[in-house]
Structure 1
Amino acid sequence: MTDEIEPWRAEILAHVKAVHDWVDAHVQIIETADRVTLREFSWEREDARSVHFVLSIEGQGDHRCYFGGGDDGDIQFILPQFHSPLGAPASYPAVELSEAVDLAVRTGLRSLMPRLKPCGTDPVTGE
């Protein structure tokens, strides 16, 4: 076996590196926020689970996001994404939030949509 990388594999590895470098250079990382505002909520009539809102972070810009209930009954939200950067068949976050900013957003969303209680039979108690 040789240490040489097959040309097609080297090309794929170079593309993967280029994609990661591009994402690293373009992702917006938000470490702190003096004010976080959730506004302009819109529910799509055809799909009640499709709720969009604008996340406005003072001094950091506005970001159109999606949120809804997760499988565990708690809210989930999705930040903007880069789709297929440089032709890569994948999506990457365009915005990353620190734990503190993420918690502020989740707290605001929970005030609008509290955790849903699951229905059905509890697997532990049988009730």
Structure 2
Amino acid sequence: MHDDQSLESHIQAVNKWLKANIRVYPEPAHITLRQIQFNPKTLSGSALLLLGNEVTGESLSLRMSETGWLTFSVPLFHSPLGAPASYAAIELTTHTQSAVTTAVRSLLPRLMPLGINPKTKEWITTSTPLQARISVASELMGALDRIGHPDFECRHLVATAGSQA
């Protein structure tokens, strides 16, 4: 019984800590990605996310997903108060998350997803060479050059139920 109370007390303490420390953002009119750092060999990197007209932002982790689209992860709290879990350090509205997803996907052309290649009928796995997953190499190289420029930024409107982006 004592262990159950101790566990419940710890869960409450973690929840209280999370409530006090997770940064909650209201829905902005637009988002901007800038300061993109991307490693073409690992297909991963980072970008600074600006919400609306804010001058400070949040660092997003970027990686190529199994679906062939570039995707993102928000900053995380790892094991707060010793909890055996990780939690998102920021909270974005559903519309903001959608805008960030669209903006991140627009950075690079889609690669062939993992699974059976519809043309060759061969398996595409995590061990498949990058060249075999690229549809048009010049498009990927152009996108990598574009996002690697220090002044590059990608701005996207946040669509709400009452607006059209």
TM-score range, shorter chain: 0.7 to 0.9
Question: Is residue 10 of structure 1 aligned with residue 11 of structure 2?
Answer: no
Deviates more, 1:74-83 or 1:114-123: 114-123
Question: Is residue 117 of structure 1 aligned with residue 112 of structure 2?
Answer: yes
Stretches of structure 1 lacking an aligned partner (at least 5 in a row) = 1-5
Deviation at 1:29, TM superposition (A): 2.1
Question: Is residue 35 of structure 1 aligned with residue 24 of structure 2?
Answer: no
* SS of corresponding position for 1:8: helix
Question: Is residue 72 of structure 1 aligned with residue 67 of structure 2?
Answer: yes
CA distance, structure 1, for counterparts of residue 88 and residue 113 of structure 2: 30
Deviation at 1:19, TM superposition (A): 0.3
Provide the residue aligned with 1:86 in structure 2.
81
Deviates more, 1:76-85 or 1:110-119: 110-119
1:73–1:15 Cα change, 3 Å: same
Provide the residue aligned with 1:54 in structure 2.
48
Q: Percent identity?
A: 32
**Any conservation in 1 of the 2:68–2:114 contact (CA below 8 Å)?**
no
**Any conservation in 1 of the 2:66–2:114 contact (CA below 8 Å)?**
no
1:120–1:72 Cα change, 3 Å: closer
CA distance, structure 1, for counterparts of residue 56 and residue 12 of structure 2: 28
Stretches of structure 2 lacking an aligned partner (at least 5 in a row) = 122-165
Provide the residue aligned with 2:102 in structure 1.
107
* SS of corresponding position for 1:112: coil
CA distance, structure 1, for counterparts of residue 114 and residue 78 of structure 2: 35
In the alignment, residue 6 of structure 2 is paired with which amino acid?
A: E
1:65–1:76 Cα change, 3 Å: same
1:39–1:60 Cα change, 3 Å: closer
Report the TM-score, using the length of structure 1 for normalisation: 0.79
Q: Would you say how many aligned residue pairs link Structure 1 and Structure 2?
A: 120
In the alignment, residue 43 of structure 1 is paired with which amino acid?
A: F
Deviation at 1:50, TM superposition (A): 2.6
1:90-120 CA distance string (max 9 Å, x none):
1100111112111211121122123322366
